[in-house]
């Protein structure tokens, strides 16, 4: 990485100085796996040219080949992880030293990502006479996550997270605050900030039916009162 914007300042250090010294002091010579993610794809490569650069702030110097795909991904992402291999992890070293795909197959990976962004009590989201038919909790998944196909039919699996290998490009399980809506209409929309909660009231209005008082939302074709 280049540029002053990528330099970690002392007050932004994420590792205590003494912890950093202790770790580096035990890493006289070893093998690491450099990992990163760019464009939703995980990259990794084995590297031994890793050394301590500074203790304040704690910094490492990592040297990668100019032709390395992982090196290009690091430059794109701006962040990377240094995984120090222990004795007995020769298989991982050889695995990530090879070129091609499948390096992460069978490797336990911790990304720090959050699968669930928020959990909402249905009573704080909905109202009206049908509230008792709503689930107790509404799970708002983070982008890229959804409820499993097994959970949708009442099954419980041994995995907390698993890859979705079925073709499915849209989902209603994502936290609605992460999903912007687009409203297409051949009539002029009067509402300044229409939402999905306005669609039922709008449909009733088009048929000349007065929405019940408990219904959320207003017709998007009428000025707000």
Confidence of residue 82 (pLDDT cuts 50, 70, 90): very high
Helix (H, G, I), strand (E, B) or coil at 197: helix
For the segment 66-76, what is each residue's pLDDT rounded down to a tens digit? Answer: 889 999 999 99
**Interval 182-196 mean pLDDT:** 88
Nearest by Cα to 27 from 3, 10, 52, 46: 52
| Residue 103 CB contacts under 8 Å (≥ 6 apart), including other chains | 42, 44, 95, 96
Task: Give the confidence band of 200 by pLDDT, cuts at 50, 70, 90.
Answer: very high
Domain parsing of the chain, residue ranges? 4-97, 114-179, 180-225
Report pLDDT for 2: 44
150: tokens are 């097994």
Quick: pLDDT tens for 129-161. Answer: 888 998 899 898 988 888 888 888 888 888 788
Burial status of residue 201 (CB atoms within 10 A of its CB: 0-12, 13-18, 19 or more): buried
**Cα–Cα dist 193/15, whole Å:** 44
In this prediction, residue 6 has a pLDDT band, given cuts at 50, 70 and 90, of low
pLDDT at 10: 53
Region class of 203: left (phi > 0), else alpha (psi between -120 and 50), else beta: alpha
Of the two residues 36 and 19, the one the predictor is more confident about is 36
Q: Is 217 helix (H, G, I), strand (E, B) or coil?
A: coil
Max mean pLDDT among 27-36, 87-96, 143-152 falls in 87-96
* Whether 142 contacts 175, CB under 8 Å: yes
pLDDT at 181: 77
pLDDT at 1: 40
Q: What CATH architecture is 4-97? A: Roll (2.30)
Q: What mean pLDDT is predicted for residues 22-41? A: 80
Residue 202 has pLDDT above 90, yes or no: yes
């Amino acid at each position: 990485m280049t540029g002053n914007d990528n330099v970690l300042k002392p007050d932004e250090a994420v590792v205590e100085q003494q912890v950093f010294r202790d770790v580096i002091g035990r890493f006289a010579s070893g093998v690491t796996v450099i990992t990163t993610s760019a464009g939703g794809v995980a990259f990794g490569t084995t590297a031994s040219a890793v050394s301590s650069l500074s203790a304040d702030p704690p910094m490492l110097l990592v040297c990668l080949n100019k032709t390395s795909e992982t090196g290009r991904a690091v430059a794109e992402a701006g962040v990377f992880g240094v995984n120090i291999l222990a004795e007995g992890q020769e298989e991982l070293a050889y695995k990530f030293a090879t070129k091609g795909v499948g390096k992460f197959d069978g490797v336990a990976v911790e990304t720090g990502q959050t699968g669930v962004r928020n959990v909402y009590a249905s009573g704080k989201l909905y109202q009206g006479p049908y509230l008792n038919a709503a689930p107790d909790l509404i799970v708002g998944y983070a982008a890229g996550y959804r409820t499993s196909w097994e959970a949708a039919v009442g099954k419980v699996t041994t995995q907390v997270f698993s890859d979705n290998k079925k073709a499915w490009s849209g989902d209603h399980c994502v936290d609605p605050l992460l999903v912007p809506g687009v409203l297409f209409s051949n009539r002029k929309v009067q509402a300044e900030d229409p939402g999905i909660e306005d669609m039922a009231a709008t449909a009733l209005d088009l048929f000349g039916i007065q929405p019940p008082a408990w219904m959320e939302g207003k017709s998007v074709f009428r000025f707000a009162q």
